[in-house]
Amino acid sequence: MEPAPSAFRAGPDFCPECGTVLPLPGVQDRVTCVCCDFAIAVRDFEGRLVQSSVEFHRPGATAVPAGGDGQEVKGPVIDRKCPQCGHEGMVYHTRQMRSADEGQTVFYTCAECKFQEKEDS
């Protein structure tokens, strides 16, 4: 009995039955879809190059440019006085630095002197 035609036109990294991303081949002789139990032989992946990359940022780096070299600091502005130069108006952004059940960290940058500070909430 021949299998039913596939519901999807999928690339080799996707399940042709449900469209889910297939897990990477491991030590087993078959790769099995986690959603619909579609299986394909590992030997069908021979000769395929799998690449991945991870980009890390320096510890303490912020998403807002520091503003050196005449760059303008961009982002939403809040009515907050800069503790360094006294300018009214600081650019801010938030980032989840701790576990999900704790508050976000707010980073402030002075639009005038580029002084930066953070506040944990």
The total domain count for the chain is 2
pLDDT score recorded for residue 67: 46
Distance CA 31, CA 26 (A): 8
- Which residues of the chain form beta strands (DSSP E)? 30-32, 39-41, 77-81, 88-95, 105-110, 116-120
Q: Is 85 annotated as a binding residue?
A: yes
Q: Is 35 annotated as a binding residue?
A: no
For residue 93, the tally of other CB atoms under 10 A from its CB is 16
Does 64 reside within a domain? no
Decide which of 36, 51, 66 is a domain's last residue.
51
Domain shared by 46 and 3, yes or no = yes
Q: Is 113 annotated as a binding residue?
A: yes
pLDDT score recorded for residue 5: 60
Does 61 reside within a domain? no
- Residue 117 — pLDDT band, cuts 50, 70, 90? very high
Does 69 reside within a domain? no
Domain shared by 84 and 46, yes or no = no
Q: Is 18 annotated as a binding residue?
A: yes
Does 12 reside within a domain? yes
Does 4 reside within a domain? yes
Domain membership of residue 14 as a residue range: 1-51
Give residue-wise pLDDT tens across range 87-108: 998 998 888 888 888 888 889 9
Q: If we measure between CA atoms, which residue out of 109, 117, 104, 72 comes closest to residue 90?
A: 109
Does 17 reside within a domain? yes
**CATH number of the domain to which 101 belongs:** 2.20.25.10
Q: Is 36 annotated as a binding residue?
A: yes
Q: What pTM did the predictor assign?
A: 0.41
Give residue-wise pLDDT tens across range 39-77: 888 888 777 776 777 777 666 554 444 445 556 777 888
